[in-house]
Amino acid sequence: MGKAKKTRKFAQMKRVISHKDTRIKSVGETAKKKIEAKREAETKPRHIDQAVSSLFFQYNTQLGPPYHVLVDTNFINFSIKNKLDIVRSMMDCLLAKCTPCITDCVMGELEKLGSRYKVALKLAKDPRFERIPCSCKGCYADDCLTNMIKNWRCFIVVTCDTELRRQIRKVPGVPCMYISNHRYTVERMPEAFGALR
């Protein structure tokens, strides 16, 4: 006697519930939570920051001729390397009186750099530089400067740090000064006729 042939039924599988099926308790709970979160987001009012009253489109009306200039640590170092007098070069660039300002965090960073940057620290303690106390306790100097310009838009920020300049560009109405071709240059400031173009 020969073997009886068993024919397999084509494309038939055991029926198994999918792991994404909402009948499974944990999947059903997460689906409900997603729906509730979406409903809450639609009903909750959005928080929109109040517009700054000193801005006329992108033009900052608070910036006026005795300019207050926030100085960063690397800007002082690069000015010394390029043999530029900070106050005179700022006045040549902006064609107006300038008051360089240094926050406590920037001064602390200069002191931490040690004896190698002793000349920069001595220059920062010059009586022509205005010292601005900041509320942050020992934070990173770049964060301190960005907080200052977000709170008060009456400053021009001077830095040679590209990352900090990228952060400053996100804040509307705040010009940024930097060194290029052994001269100071300011961006986003139309009335700076002395700036390099």
Res. 98: pLDDT tops 90: yes
The pair of structure tokens assigned to 77 is 């170092």
What is the tens place of the pLDDT at every residue in 11-38? Answer: 667 777 787 777 777 878 888 899 999 9
DSSP type of residue 135: S
Answer for the pair 78, 179: CB distance below 8 angstroms, yes or no. Answer: yes
**What SS3 state is found at 89?**
helix
Helix (H, G, I), strand (E, B) or coil at 66: coil
Q: How much of the chain exceeds pLDDT 90, in percent?
A: 55
Q: Which has the higher per-residue pLDDT, 85 or 28?
A: 85
| pLDDT band per the 50, 70, 90 thresholds, residue 60 | confident
Q: Using only the alpha carbons of the chain, give its radius of gyration.
A: 30
**Global pTM?**
0.72
**Nearest partner of 53 among 154, 132, 133, judged by Cα:** 154
Cα separation, 194 vs 92, whole angstroms: 6
How much is the pLDDT for 46? 78
